[in-house]
Amino acid sequence: MLLYPLIISILALMNPFLGLVLLMGYCAKTIGYCLSNPLRALFMFFPVPIALIALDASTGTQLMAMDAIIGVGAVTLLFLDIVKRSGKLNDGFLVSFLVLLSYGLLRFKMFGAFQLQELDRGLELIREQLPVMLDNAMFTDALPMWKLILPAVWIITQGLSLTLGFMLFLKLLGIKPIMQNFSFPPIYNLMIIAIIPLYLLEATKMLFANALLAMCVIPFLHGMANVWQRLSLVFANRIVLGIFMFIIIIYANVLLVLIGFADMWLNKRKEIPGGITA
């Protein structure tokens, strides 16, 4: 049983996105063992990335190992601990996402120069292989913006991984319907409002932009769950429902964020406070 976290840790070093999904799935399959003692259940996940930090001081290796340790292992460990203490799965998801948010911002502060260097190297490779693409004026003009929101891109990507892992976790536990289980407390909105003063200072505008974009993931999920729940009353066919939901996600994602923000604030959904219980 301890072999699986070890294997997943090696995968997480190469692909934190996949590693987090698989580790959440492993926790669901061994839920009794994981909740009885989360640290013991996931202990074997940490030796390999910790050893890499100790043995290789290169920036790339340090970043890769930290992403595995915090962005995958610590997030999952905290999720299990919150669920064990509170019995509420959505509380565990929310706290785990906030850890990803905090680490993502700190990650750029510690390794920002390296990340921008790697981005430029990747763009140079694209320029050599696909010169037409980088000659596009729109693409060129958008590069400064992409560099500005680089921390948020990582947080949102890993947040999507956490979401997929959470949905897999619920599915393996036999908890249905999965989409309606994304429900979060209105206090989260106050956290979004609390970061607005960062916009007033020139030195913290970049931090504000990235934090705001990343924090919109939770209202987006809440809004998506709300719309899914209401559309399911109209469309009985899951395929048709999925198609409509996909179109809304692509063309009305900002609207979903606003719906989620308003729904959390008004707290109209008749859900168990804090989410579903374990």
| Angle at alpha carbon of residue 263, lines to 262 and 269, rounded to 5° | 165
The pair of three-digit structure tokens given for residue 77, joined into one six-digit string:
């460990």
- Give the residue extent of every domain in the chain: 1-112+152-175, 177-278
pLDDT score of 138: 57
CA–CA distance from 179 to each of 10, 26, 66, 171, 176 (Å)?
Answer: 30, 21, 31, 11, 8
Which whole number is the average pLDDT over 108-112?
Answer: 89
Please report, as a single letter, which amino acid is at residue 191.
M
Render 153-202 in DSSP notation, one character per residue.
Answer: HHHHHHHHHHHHHHHHHHHHHT---SGGG----THHHHHHHHTGGGGGSG
HSE-CB for 57 with a 13 A CA cutoff: 0
Binned at pLDDT 50, 70 and 90, residue 119 comes out as confident
Binned at pLDDT 50, 70 and 90, residue 172 comes out as very high
Give the tens place of pLDDT for each residue, 202-230.
888 888 999 999 999 988 988 888 888 88
Which whole number is the average pLDDT over 132-144?
Answer: 63
Reduce the secondary structure of 34-103 to three states and give it as a string. HHHCHHHHHHHHCHHHHHHHHHCCCHHHHHHHHHHHHHHHHHHHHHHHHHHHHCEHHHHHHHHHHHHHHH
Classify residue 128 as exposed, middle or buried by CB count within 10 Å of its CB (0-12, 13-18, 19+).
Answer: exposed
Binned at pLDDT 50, 70 and 90, residue 26 comes out as very high
The pair of three-digit structure tokens given for residue 150, joined into one six-digit string:
């680089």
Could you tell me which residues are beta bridge partners of residue 88? Answer: 277
Q: What is the pTM of this model?
A: 0.85
pLDDT over 80 (residue 9): yes
d(CA 189, CA 157): 21
pLDDT score of 139: 61
- Name the 3-class secondary structure at 204: helix
pLDDT score of 252: 87
CA–CA distance from 98 to each of 50, 69, 78 (Å)?
Answer: 23, 16, 11
pLDDT score of 271: 45
The pair of three-digit structure tokens given for residue 36, joined into one six-digit string:
């009885």
Nearest Cα to Cα of residue 226 among 256, 199, 204:
256
Comparing 49 with 232, which gets the higher pLDDT? 49
Give the tens place of pLDDT for each residue, 56-72.
889 999 999 999 999 99
pLDDT over 50 (residue 270): no
